[in-house]
Amino acid sequence: MTSFIGAPIGRVDGRAKVTGAATYAAEFRPPGLVYAALATSSIAAGQLTALHTAAAERAPGVLLVLTHLNAGKLPYQSPAARAAVDPVAGEQLRVLQDARIFFSGQPIAVVVAETQAQATYAAALVRATYAVDTSARTQFDPAQARPTSLAAAKRGRGPETRQGDPDTALAAAPVQVDQRYVQPRMHHQAMEPHATIAHWQGEQLTLWSKSQWVGNERDAIALVFGIPAANVRVINPYVGGAFGSALRTWPHVTLATLAARRAGRPVLLELTREQLFYSIGFRPRTEQRVALGAEATGQLTAIVHEAVGQTSTYEEFAEATLDVPAVTYACPNRRTSYRLVDMHTNTPCPMRGPGHVTGLLVQEIAMDELAAALQLDPLELRLRNFAERDFRKDLPWSSNQLRACYQAGAERFGWQRRTPTPGSMRAGSLRMGLGMATALNPAPRYPIQASATLLPDGTIVVRSATSDMGPGTYTSATQVAADTLGVPLGRVRFELGDSALPPAKEHGGSTTMASVGPAVQAACQDLRRQLDMLAGRPVDLTTTDLPGLLRHAGLLQLQASGSAGPNATPPTHSTYGFGAVFAEVHVDPDLGIVRVARLVGAYDAGRIINPRLARSQCLGGMVGGIGMALMEEATWDPRFGRVLNANLADYHVPVNADVHELDVLFVPSEEPLMNPLGVKGLAELGLCGVAPAIANAVWHATGKRVRELPITVDKLLD
């Protein structure tokens, strides 16, 4: 029997995507569809004193203009427990429920018209007057930061942790590094804008909505409108990129649902590119201090890591910024501090590697600075401080091939050619720099259910309400099913992205394959057992007349189910994915232009189900890391509480010309304790470590240490 697990199979949904057959949220067309557009606030904080909508209401094709004056009150019931993707405290924006303004860009009206052009034009006619709050908090000021809440602490994001006596150890350390670093506000910039089509049919509501967690969107909207969750169905078979932005349910989903109920027709509300900067979340600006103390041998004796992030005034978004740095290296004395600045902005949200990438970024730059102070090779410094276990929890790793990642990556990259002195290497007329960083990301597993159904024509349909925003869930789940059943790939069809399917948790946190895969495997194993019982013997699904077997048993189809529990790793172990990233940059000495000539990433992600898809995930992470290091920054205007570059022309992301040689390798590894497939999460691991490796390479090329990203020409020429 051919084994499909581990095979580099092309995407089973690839043809649908490249031919346009794949249908995204905004592309469904229920009969009678009409279109909506938003009018938004132009102030950062205050009250609406008047709304002038008459011109919009008279505009051609307009069916409805909703504001807080006529939208009616929505129940906004509280959940029994907050979803893991939601902020830890506060209340979601209760859209069109009163006159308060919490941030610039907040929706203040929604216009429904026969065409999108008519709705957009009419929304531009809405005029508002305000009572402006002159004390609006639009400046990121670390001096105004507060400790995180008790709710954040319960999620492991508390204000402070301490191990040993770090301050005394730091003061006594022969070699010290103590620096501050800034990572700016960043936005997801997925190809597909967020959109929702809402369609009421009596008391039943169907939402075609961009979502990474259709079950959570169903439950969230049911609570907002005070209706049973069973009355709501969320459908989203394809997601055109999200990077975490579609994990929670945003106000535009509520607005589309409300508008459809009032208009009596299905309504499409699709956000513009500019509105994406205000209507969904973002990676928050974070300023950090890292202080490292070490012996002359390079052995760490003290780590102090302090982080200040931003959140909105109406919700508390707390990131796991300090989690990964707390376990990366062995050190007996450690202190972390995490605080938040409340600002009049929309609420941040998870963005690929939320918190983990942010904390690892500055830790890995600080480790490079320590290596320079010690006159020690950066890779050797990391090896001397290798963490043999999770020292934060005092637990052994469930598996850890980080040393193999260091070795394999360094050999592939040619790290031994690096000369220690900054500016000492050349690529023709350009300065060459080589840098590296450790990659680390948690590898959790969530409870998932799946079903496997044998149809009369011999096709096996496997279903789960997970999502696929690009990693290849359709393909990898099909591979697991075909491998478990022992049938060709073409006999299996995997269906996802529908809240009516067996429930699944969020498609995020690099958890999908580790969670969905075992559930699919269990469902297919159950189907095999049932077929063996029907036949009275072990069945070969490739040669047995399965339709005949069903007919003989008097069945039209045969359905099986399976589930996978939460993290199967015993509480006696800690589970992470590991990696090492190596970067080569070329810098023009006169112009300060940086080119990332080469990236090599070596990863331990457990068993690789599909190396072709896995490589693609890491390539995407590398491209994102180039953007994080050199380009991406939301330019914030504190006068108005707005992003000045809220478009794809001015918010710079890497394009083809910025991406050169990217090399990915996976070290042999399996995760024996976590799940039956032996896999660990990969997607976010591919971003971890990339930006600091590039930053460290830029320092090696130029001798200039840029501690506020992105590394732009002006900072190198200054």
The DSSP-derived string for 380-400 is: HHHHHTB-SEETTTTEEBS--
At residue 672, the pLDDT reads: 82
Distance CA(367)–CA(373), nearest Å, equals 10
DSSP 283: B
Secondary structure class of 197 (helix, strand, coil):
strand
CATH topology of domain 142-186+282-443+572-717: Aldehyde Oxidoreductase; domain 4 (3.30.365)
Strand blocks (E) in 589-655:
594-604, 636-637, 642-643
Q: In sequence order, which residues have a C-beta less than 8 Å from that of residue 81 and are 6 or more positions away?
A: none
Pull the structure tokens for residue 603: 């990863």
Distance CA(662)–CA(681), nearest Å, equals 20
Distance CA(620)–CA(610), nearest Å, equals 16
Torsion over CA of 493, 26, 20 and 117, rounded to 10 degrees?
A: 170
Distance CA(435)–CA(581), nearest Å, equals 8
Q: In sequence order, which residues have a C-beta less than 8 Å from that of residue 340 and are 6 or more positions away?
A: 145, 146, 147, 148, 308, 309, 310, 311, 316, 318
User: What count of other Cβ atoms lies within 10 Å of the Cβ of residue 5?
Assistant: 19
Pull the structure tokens for residue 674: 């976590």
Cβ–Cβ under 8 Å, residues 345 and 283: no
At residue 675, the pLDDT reads: 86
Instruction: State how far the alpha carbon of 684 is from the alpha carbons of 106, 578, 619, in Å.
Output: 30, 11, 11
Pull the structure tokens for residue 653: 């992301």
Distance CA(562)–CA(278), nearest Å, equals 40
DSSP 679: B
Cβ–Cβ under 8 Å, residues 288 and 46: no
Phi, psi of 196 (to 5 degrees): -140, 135
Cβ–Cβ under 8 Å, residues 645 and 349: no
- Residue-range domain boundaries for the chain: 32-134+191-241+246-279, 142-186+282-443+572-717, 445-564
Q: Tell me the angle at which helices 214-225 and 251-263 cross, rounded to the nearest 10 degrees.
A: 60
Cβ–Cβ under 8 Å, residues 243 and 210: no
If residue 123 lies in a helix (H) or strand (E), which one and from where to where?
helix 116-123
If residue 449 lies in a helix (H) or strand (E), which one and from where to where?
strand 448-454
Secondary structure class of 7 (helix, strand, coil):
coil
Distance CA(14)–CA(232), nearest Å, equals 30
Q: Model-level pTM greater than 0.85? A: yes
Mean pLDDT computed over every residue of the chain: 96
Q: Is 150 exposed, middle or buried (0-12, 13-18, 19+ CB in 10 A)?
A: exposed
Q: CA 635: distance to chain centroid?
A: 21
At residue 565, the pLDDT reads: 80
At residue 156, the pLDDT reads: 86
Q: Please state whether the peptide bond connecting residue 710 to the residue before it is cis, i.e. omega within 30 degrees of 0.
A: yes
Angle subtended at Cα 495 by Cα 492 and Cα 499, rounded to the nearest 5 degrees: 155
Residue with tokens 């200054």: 718
Distance CA(481)–CA(473), nearest Å, equals 12
End-to-end C-alpha distance for the chain, whole angstroms: 63
Amino acid at 517: G
At residue 568, the pLDDT reads: 54
Nearest in space to 84 (alpha carbons), one of 646, 714, 507, 584: 507
Q: Which residues are catalytic?
A: 684
Angle subtended at Cα 195 by Cα 194 and Cα 200, rounded to the nearest 5 degrees: 150
Pull the structure tokens for residue 590: 């006169």
Sign of the CA dihedral with 63 first, then 68, 70, and 74 last: positive
Cβ–Cβ under 8 Å, residues 350 and 508: yes
Pull the structure tokens for residue 523: 């469902």
At residue 570, the pLDDT reads: 62
At residue 282, the pLDDT reads: 98
- Give me the numbers of helices (H) and strands (E) for the chain, helices first please: 18, 31
Q: Which residues on adjacent β-strands are paired with residue 206?
A: 199, 233
Distance CA(603)–CA(675), nearest Å, equals 19
- Its CATH architecture, for the domain 32-134+191-241+246-279, is 2-Layer Sandwich (3.30)
Kindly give the pairing relationship between strand 286-294 and strand 300-312.
Answer: antiparallel
Distance CA(712)–CA(502), nearest Å, equals 48
Pull the structure tokens for residue 510: 């690099």
Phi, psi of 218 (to 5 degrees): -55, -50
Write the DSSP assignment of 637-651 as a string of letters.
Answer: ETTTTEETT-STTTS
Strand blocks (E) in 251-314:
267-270, 286-294, 300-312
Cβ–Cβ under 8 Å, residues 256 and 206: no
At residue 1, the pLDDT reads: 58
Cβ–Cβ under 8 Å, residues 181 and 362: yes
Distance CA(655)–CA(122), nearest Å, equals 35
Cβ–Cβ under 8 Å, residues 323 and 220: no
Q: Give 181-196 as a 3 state SS string.
A: EEECCECCCCCCCCEE
Q: In sequence order, which residues have a C-beta less than 8 Å from that of residue 489 and are 6 or more positions away?
A: 4, 9, 12, 478, 479, 482
> Which residue ranges of the chain lie beneath pLDDT 70?
1, 567-570
- The domain 445-564 is placed in CATH, from the list 3.30.450.40, 3.30.365.10, 3.40.50.720, 3.20.20.150, at 3.30.365.10
Distance CA(497)–CA(24), nearest Å, equals 11
Q: Which residues on adjacent β-strands are paired with residue 463?
A: 451, 495
